Amino acid sequence: MIQVAVSLLNYNSSQNTIACVESLLNAGHEAKESYLLNIFVTDNDSLADEQAELEQSLAKLPAVHLQVNTENRGFSAGHNDNLRIILDQSSPDYVWLLNNDCLVHRDTLSSLINCAQQSPAVGIWGATLLEPDGKTIQCGGGCFYNSWISSYKQFGQGTNLENIDQLKSEGFDYIAGASLFFPLMGLQDGLHPVTESSVDDSGARQQWLNESFFLYFEELDLAKRLKPGFEMAWCKSALIRHVGGASIGTDDNQRTAKAEYYSTSSALRFTRMYYPRRLWLMAPVRYLSKCLQLSFRGQFQLIRPLTRAYRDFWTE
């Protein structure tokens, strides 16, 4: 029987996490293929009432494993904690890193497994992310990145789902981080070790997500570390409604200071790691364009965390 392990993180968004878990379990019940699904949830030091709601709700559900961290060490560290538990306690054929603000369609997992079985050279699979309306494509698998100005473009964004067949899969720069589906070989053997922040808290060399990225850009780092012979691809038929993360403000119109700070610091760190000669152009251009963008939107309060991220980066 095919075994799939799903890694989810929760941070002050227990209702999103519970809805995501329930959608995964419902998909399992509806699947034509038989597979064993285990869901591993890590809470990144949420508020007490959020943790309590999560614990009470997930305790009633089958094949769901919850651990609670006493500090929030970020997105990459949280998933790495889950991955250690997954690989210690089970032998999955596939590992799925999924955002907790996602709702999967009933045949999404079956589609991902089918795509992976047909193309064993793919190390990371992306899905079709939909807007909250469920009818408009948010991202078709992956994105393109302009390293000179640190901007990105989501493939297929704005396309009506009915026209998905008109989109031709492209050579993405990275897979959208809301859904990263790994065959076990791709996860264990397909990634170069992390070079910056070379060891984790246990003293072992980081193998999976780069914990120097607290939030954002971890999926770009994964793409950079993918070994030759392993590819990235889009599973068109794997549909996921991406409702948005209120706890960190993934929607630009509801962006939080935390989101602004970490998206900026991660962009600077990623450029220093992989495009150091472009940093001296990218850094001022990004700062000025972000200030103009935030001012135009009337989000003047976000200029402060933007500036603080630059200050902290240059003085670290």
In this prediction, residues 15-22 reach a mean pLDDT of 96
Q: What is the pLDDT of residue 302?
A: 97
Query: Looking at residue 123, what is its pLDDT?
Result: 97
Please give the residue that has the higher pLDDT: either 170 or 158.
158
pLDDT of 200 strictly over 60: no
Residue 36 confidence (pLDDT) above 60: yes
Residue 137 has a pLDDT of: 98
Which pLDDT value is given to residue 244? 79
Which single residue is written with the structure tokens 């392993």? 230
**Chain centre to alpha carbon of residue 39:** 16
Rounded CA-CA distance 186/145 in Å is 22
CB 127 within 8 A of CB 240: yes
198 confidence band (pLDDT: 50, 70, 90): very low
Q: How far apart are the first and last CA of the chain?
A: 49
Q: Taking 90 as the threshold, does the pLDDT of residue 30 lie above it?
A: no
CATH architecture of 2-242: Alpha-Beta Complex (3.90)
pLDDT band at 27 (very low <50, low <70, confident <90, very high): confident
Confidence bin at 35 (pLDDT 50/70/90): confident
Is the pLDDT at 195 greater than 90? The verdict is no
Write down the pLDDT at residue 284. 97
Per the prediction, the chain carries an average pLDDT of 91
pLDDT classification of 31: cutoffs 50, 70, 90: low
Whole-number Å distance between alpha carbons of 167 and 214: 33
pTM > 0.85? yes
Domain layout of the chain by residue ranges: 2-242, 252-315
Biggest CA–CA distance in the chain, Å, is: 55
pLDDT above 90 (res 197): no
> What confidence score (pLDDT) does residue 253 get?
55
231 burial type by CB count under 10 A (0-12 exposed, 13-18 middle, 19+ buried) = middle
Do 125 and 255 meet the contact criterion of CB atoms below 8 Å apart?
no
pLDDT tens digits, one per residue of 231-287: 999 999 999 999 976 545 555 556 799 999 999 999 999 999 999 999 999 999 999
Q: Are 208 and 192 in contact (CB under 8 A)?
A: no
At residue 217, what are phi and psi to the nearest 5 degrees?
75, 0
Kindly give, in sequence order, each residue whose CB lies less than 8 Å from that of residue 245, ignoring residues fewer than 6 positions away: 13, 16, 99, 100, 101
Residue 20 has pLDDT above 70, yes or no: yes
Provide the residue type at 252 as one letter: D
Which of 22-31, 54-63, 140-149, 190-199 shows the lowest mean pLDDT across its residues? 190-199
Per-residue model confidence (pLDDT) at position 207: 73
Dihedral sign for Cα atoms in the order 229, 232, 236, 237: positive
pLDDT tens profile 201-237: 554 555 799 999 999 999 999 999 999 999 999 999 9
| % of the chain exceeding 70 in pLDDT | 91
